[in-house]
Structure 1
């Protein structure tokens, strides 16, 4: 009996090894209800990646097929410096492997927990990046719906990326969303009330909660009792510490506006004086769309990758946002160079 189990395990390992032949799997760094995340090494480049392993059997039992399909579709279509990159998705009959950037500095949540409240300049630096990434999502008709510091990972100190699009959805012109989702402390009052919503306004609310947390080292809405928490959120009941500047105070108040019609928009956040202060040139303009970003090809890295792959095919794949062995190598080299420079190229 023991030998039989060993043979079964060995067969599974060989199968996974063949499926992930371009990667050397390492330790598990995270676990979910139907998935786990493992660190791995891309053998050809030697760079680290994170591989999210999803079990189809567990997905089916939990009736999460639609959620997983949407997460994969959205994650693959979004290409932005402040959104985690998905390099490729490998599917078998029993598993789905999502190969993505490995951001070794961990969650923004852990950073805030260890450091406490941030100085305004540092908080603004992170906030500007979040808004840039979310503006790009909205431009491409995607609403995140689960923004929180746990879903913001640091690729280096001072540089973050948005992750986890499991609760995201694609917006359609003239249609409203009504799914009640998100993390209780960050969810917008209209969602709690069960009202329909367009999409962007709920992400703005969550960004307001995050900005408050960055500046205050705690959340504006925090109650052990869930019912009381929701009462405070729906009533917009919170306090702002005296040490916060008038500019930051004004922006938070306008983002945590209970009435979604009166709530500040992403465009107005961009024009706000507090947001504009020390705004990096790379974030000053609204984000380009996916086609524009895909057309920006690094010639030096392209030349390196072309030593092992057909150059014309690679350029064509990049322009079409296709994923294959060559594009994985290209983007791994791009992202590694980006991270080594601290996010400044």
Structure 2
């Protein structure tokens, strides 16, 4: 992919032949004995897997990692191929990646999109976790680019359109991938994209920012390698820009054997646009690879760009159904096939509606995926809507306070309480980021809030609330007054880009009374002219 050896290294091994000494013979016999034991152990493992996975015929190993392997398997009921990721619990624990594995499983369970790898079911035992996934035959996008070099713009655009569609769907479901790179993007036999490896992904909570440095440094956004806070979507967009550059050029925009030099190039946004790129491509790439995340183009902005919009397939132009709608869309023909296999129709329908993974839903989705000749079939309307079942899918909660509109910043007050009980307030703004921050600085100053700026759009704040003493208590002795300690409230402010031309100022309490935080937030909104 790159002209640099750092991108792809090839290793050559040589085998020397010599006569056996007594020691060599003894070692050779020990190896035979050891191999015999290994074969016996392998036989036991195979027998155990048959009992755990009775509906699958396990085949060859597709890949092996430090804590598990991936096996090709056939789903006996439908005859379709699947990939089974076998994860050893003991090794996962040794490598302290339990959270990573659990997160990927939970996230993939949520996602249903033609350009995201499908997870059919998860089977757990005390020793192993078996993750049954869609089998993608053609391999990684990385290998495809290494083999072909730079792609024609039409082909690169087609692949990039699919990547953006999948990433946009993740963001709509509040999932930030955080490790987008060609090695984590698979291609099927028809060269269609499948985004995979959600192990470093995270669920995006309103008002909560991430600071973990995730993924490969070559694809990491400047704010990630700088250790700054980020919301999630903006770092995925940067990675998409690096992938687009690689598709069009055949090598990476940021590459250096020295890690400090690499980081310096990324932080400064130093890269070269080759002359062979079209005018539209040369316009889009810098908009994505913008160092300031506030100025970086958003996915709606990418969608509206002339280069991206050209030759856009109709199925990618329409927004995908949300998870609730997808759960209601059922292919009647596939349902009949699943019932003919021997499953109860009502149980199948209820399992699909409630997104339950079981033998019936695995059969349904395997048959459904096999009938789809192209990704566009995914959104075709040859379906019926389920009705008559009690859904366990939670409906979107109504905000406890109404949105406030029609004021100078076009802002809205959005209170949330997250799962970890941290109070957060958000303010939506349609103004220039620097103007928003200037207004915030003045408001904080008027409220006698002290702050420390830890980034251009991020600050830690401290406010000391001194209780007023009534006239009746004004004759208290100085010693008694000294006992009364002022209440300190600590909170953090972060401005980030929500969509094109729209910004969100999030205010998150770090320490102090919740109601005092709300009082101060109301005062801040008054100072900003919101209420």
TM bucket normalised to smaller: over 0.9
Residue matched to 2:90: 57
The CA distance in 2 between the partners of 1:136 and 1:120, in whole Å, is: 24
TM-score (norm 1): 0.96
| Structure 1 residues 20 and 220: CA distance shift in structure 2, 3 A | same
Deviations 1:22-71 (A, max 9, x none): 11111111122212111111111111100001000001111111111111
Does 2:313 align with 1:280?
yes
The correspondence of residues 322-333 of structure 1 with structure 2, limited to 5 A, is 322-333=356-367
More helix by share: 1
| Structure 1 residues 224 and 309: CA distance shift in structure 2, 3 A | same
| Structure 1 residues 108 and 4: CA distance shift in structure 2, 3 A | closer
More strand by share: 2
Q: Secondary structure at the match of 1:306?
A: helix
In structure 2, which of residues 261, 268, 285 is the aligned counterpart of residue 235 of structure 1? 268
Shift, 1:294, TM fit? 2.1
Does 2:170 align with 1:137?
yes
Higher relative contact order (CA 8 A, sep 6+): 1
Q: Secondary structure at the match of 1:181?
A: coil
The CA distance in 2 between the partners of 1:328 and 1:315, in whole Å, is: 13
The CA distance in 1 between the partners of 2:53 and 2:120, in whole Å, is: 13
The CA distance in 1 between the partners of 2:38 and 2:303, in whole Å, is: 59
Mapped contact 2:182–2:243 kept (Cα < 8 A)? yes
Residue matched to 2:350: 316
Mapped contact 1:186–1:209 kept (Cα < 8 A)? yes
The CA distance in 2 between the partners of 1:225 and 1:72, in whole Å, is: 35
| Structure 1 residues 325 and 258: CA distance shift in structure 2, 3 A | same
Between Structure 1 and Structure 2, how many residues are aligned?
343
Q: Which runs of 4+ in 1 moved over 6 A?
A: 1-7
> Unaligned stretches of 5+ in structure 1?
none
Residue matched to 2:243: 210
Deviations 1:121-173 (A, max 9, x none): 11111111111111110111100000011111112333111000000000100
Shift, 1:273, TM fit? 1.4
The CA distance in 2 between the partners of 1:198 and 1:149, in whole Å, is: 23
| Structure 1 residues 204 and 43: CA distance shift in structure 2, 3 A | same
The CA distance in 2 between the partners of 1:172 and 1:343, in whole Å, is: 30
Q: Secondary structure at the match of 1:212?
A: helix
Mapped contact 1:122–1:158 kept (Cα < 8 A)? no
Mapped contact 1:128–1:279 kept (Cα < 8 A)? yes
TM-score (norm 2): 0.63
Residue matched to 1:84: 117
